[in-house]
Structure 1
Amino acid sequence: MADRRGSAETVVTAADKPEVWQPSPIEQQRAAYRLRQRRRSFVVATVSTIVVLAVVVIVLVTSPGWDRFQSTFFSPHEAGVAFPMVLRGLWTNIEVMLVCGVAIAVWSLVLAVLRTLRGPVFFPLRAFAVVYVDLFRGLPLLLVVFLLGLGVPALQLSGLPTDPLFWGGLALTLSYSANVAEVLRAGIESVHPSQRAAARSLGLSYAATLRFVVLPQAVRRVMPALMNDLISLEKDSALLAAIGVVDALRQAQIRQSLSFNFTAYVVAGVLFICLTIPMARFTDWYARRRGFQGVGGQL
């Protein structure tokens, strides 16, 4: 009897253990096939890239004007001399991007909220926001930089600053706020009206609904577009060199005027690329992540 009970207990225990999933032979074949295809694609992509780069390099090096082109745009001596100067100026571009980015975020959010206000009593505010957005979206950014950076200091009014960096940053803020405001307004209007109705039914005021319910969802939805605008702002900060701001581009201009060599411009371009490419890749990653969240919910 004891042996029977022991064997019965053994049978029950084995039955209670969960079975470990094992892929079927067909699934294993499919996985092996997909692995071979990925390896084949990687090899083909690598070989084709090497071949294309080799052809481009051979064509450039064997071209008749390569020596003069190399000495004019890729001079190692000029690059070594220009790099510290351009790097110091690049910090000005980074400061402009950070300070103007904060100002643009605040002012564009105000404009977007003004454009979404309801009721006839808010018509003047909506009209102001519409006129502002239409005006600064229609004006070229360089034109605004010239008007504020050169025109306003020429008035010589007492109490107004004369620093071109201030007026150039203001021009960037005014122009970019118009574009960013439209991005934020699209995000606000993409939130379903039921979200507002549910918040108001819980006793939240209009301002509280906008702050705690609408804006968090709206900003998350348009975050990739906002990141792209930040990348554009970082590049367009170089336009301030046109009004005398000593940034990376201006430093490159100074060095080029002394050496009559354009390598300094290439150095400035490489430094800007080193800033924009990581930001662009992070934006792509975030956009893909948000896309997966939109399909499958929150991660």
Structure 2
Amino acid sequence: MSSSSLIRSDVQPSPAPSPPQPVLPLTVAAVVASVIGIALMVLAAVELRNFNHHGVVSTIIGVVLVLLTLYPLWPTLRSIGAGRERARLLQDGKLVAARRSAARGREDAQIGMGYAVASVVVALLLLMVLANSAHGNGIAHTFFSSSAWRQSFSQMLPAFWINIWVALIAQVLVLIFGLLLAVMRMLPGRAGAPLRRIAIVYCDVFRAVPAIVVIYLIVFGVPLAAPGLTKISPTLLGVLALTLTYSAYVAEVYRAGLQSIHPSQTAAARSLGLSYFQTLRTVLVPQAVRRVIPPLLNDFISLQKDTALLSIAAIGEALLTATIWQAKLFNLSPVTLAAFFFIIITIPQARFVDYLINRDASKRAGG
């Protein structure tokens, strides 16, 4: 027997390739989830129509929701076609093509399943919100009464303008005062030690005390402690309280940005003859500000929301106006309207922060 035949006899035959996984189980699950989602959404549409007393708008919204719930059936039908194609290709012995078809069918079935489950979740939430609303109670009537919104809107909108301009003024002051605190915390040498300690104590205290306590102390305490300042508007005192609180947080953001700059840049600037403050102004601060814009905007979003705390000082902003209407109507829908106002103004800011973060990450990755 030749050596070549011995070698061939020792070679183990490779195992037969396994057929691709079937598509049918995922497809059946997607169909079941789609049918459940459609049924629940139809019930939710009926409840919505009853809640709005058979109104045209609620009917249109319900029809649109039901039509959107039909979308999972489309990828599910594609997965059925891919499953049939898989079976046909297996019969023809085209294993690779069958694998591709099966993978495509499973992906379509998973897409249909994902959208169907989302439809079920949305429909269940709508049913929970709309339960018993046709009888004058329930979540929808308590929190989302269109009648209460219409009655309170004319006063809620100008009241929310107070929240906006208070936040804008406080943000400008916080940017300036927070940067000053950050510079104080980073003063070098023994000469800067007293100011460093003052800045540290300030940041520790105002980060520890709740903003609502600071507002209460400033708005009510300043006129009592200094009678000559009683003519100052409580709203301006509220701006001062928010500025004192958020400057402590923003100072830490600034400091983190300054410390993130490599020490070699400071050394290079000082070697060129720049003083410490010239180095801060021309080298460190411009770079630090660019780096800390996303966290600064996050703090400003929180500041925008915390303007609602001014209601404890009887300042006529959105929340106080909403609580007055809530007491008048015995319904919490005006408070929900105030929440919608804050959502409308803060969500675009949050998306802008995400955009800045993603853009910065793309630049660092070389994209």
Instruction: Check 1:37–1:272 CA distance in 2 against 1; reply closer, same or farther (3 A cut).
Output: farther
**1:21 maps to what in 2?**
none
User: Offset of 1:35 from its aligned partner?
Assistant: 10
**2:115 maps to what in 1?**
46
d(CA) in 2 for partners of 1:79, 1:117: 53
Instruction: Check 1:272–1:200 CA distance in 2 against 1; reply closer, same or farther (3 A cut).
Output: same
d(CA) in 1 for partners of 2:295, 2:103: 34
d(CA) in 2 for partners of 1:273, 1:189: 34
User: Offset of 1:273 from its aligned partner?
Assistant: 0.5
Instruction: Check 1:34–1:125 CA distance in 2 against 1; reply closer, same or farther (3 A cut).
Output: farther
2:166 corresponds to 1:85:
no
d(CA) in 1 for partners of 2:130, 2:167: 38
1:142 to 204, 208, 212: 212
**1:122 maps to what in 2?**
192
Contact 2:222 2:229 in 1 (8 A): no
Structure 1: 5+ residue stretches without partners? 1-32
2:137 corresponds to 1:58:
no
Larger Cα-atom Rg? 2
- Please give the TM-score of this superposition, normalised by the length of structure 2: 0.67
d(CA) in 1 for partners of 2:212, 2:362: 38
**What's the secondary structure of 1:53's corresponding residue?**
helix
Contact 1:244 1:250 in 2 (8 A): yes
Contact 1:60 1:66 in 2 (8 A): no
d(CA) in 2 for partners of 1:90, 1:64: 29
2:177 corresponds to 1:177:
no
Q: Deviations over 1:251-292 (max 9, x none)?
A: 112211222221100100011101111111111111111122
1:209 to 270, 279, 284: 279
Instruction: Check 1:269–1:281 CA distance in 2 against 1; reply closer, same or farther (3 A cut).
Output: same
**What's the secondary structure of 2:192's corresponding residue?**
helix
**What's the secondary structure of 1:68's corresponding residue?**
coil
**1:98 maps to what in 2?**
168
2:337 corresponds to 1:267:
yes
**What's the secondary structure of 1:158's corresponding residue?**
helix
**2:47 maps to what in 1?**
none
Percent identity of equivalent pairs:
42
User: Offset of 1:67 from its aligned partner?
Assistant: 3.9
Question: Quick check: 213-222 or 66-75, which moved more?
Answer: 66-75
Contact 2:223 2:229 in 1 (8 A): no
Look up the equivalent residue of 2:145 and give its one-letter code: S
**1:164 maps to what in 2?**
234
d(CA) in 1 for partners of 2:162, 2:151: 19
**What's the secondary structure of 1:281's corresponding residue?**
helix
Instruction: Check 1:87–1:137 CA distance in 2 against 1; reply closer, same or farther (3 A cut).
Output: same
**1:241 maps to what in 2?**
311
Structure 1 stretches of 4+ with a deviation exceeding 6 A read 33-41
Instruction: Check 1:244–1:196 CA distance in 2 against 1; reply closer, same or farther (3 A cut).
Output: same
Look up the equivalent residue of 2:286 and give its one-letter code: P
Instruction: Check 1:209–1:248 CA distance in 2 against 1; reply closer, same or farther (3 A cut).
Output: same
Look up the equivalent residue of 1:170 and give its one-letter code: L
Contact 2:184 2:199 in 1 (8 A): yes
Look up the equivalent residue of 1:84 and give its one-letter code: S
Contact 1:231 1:280 in 2 (8 A): yes
User: Offset of 1:155 from its aligned partner?
Assistant: 3.5
- Please give the TM-score of this superposition, normalised by the length of structure 1: 0.82
2:202 to 129, 132, 148: 132
Instruction: Check 1:43–1:98 CA distance in 2 against 1; reply closer, same or farther (3 A cut).
Output: farther
For residues 182-197 of structure 1, what are the structure 2 equivalents within 5 Å?
Answer: 182-197=252-267
Q: Deviations over 1:102-144 (max 9, x none)?
A: 0000000000001011010111111110111111111111111
Question: Quick check: 48-57 or 84-93, which moved more?
Answer: 48-57
Instruction: Check 1:110–1:285 CA distance in 2 against 1; reply closer, same or farther (3 A cut).
Output: same
User: Offset of 1:227 from its aligned partner?
Assistant: 0.6
Higher relative contact order (CA 8 A, sep 6+): 1
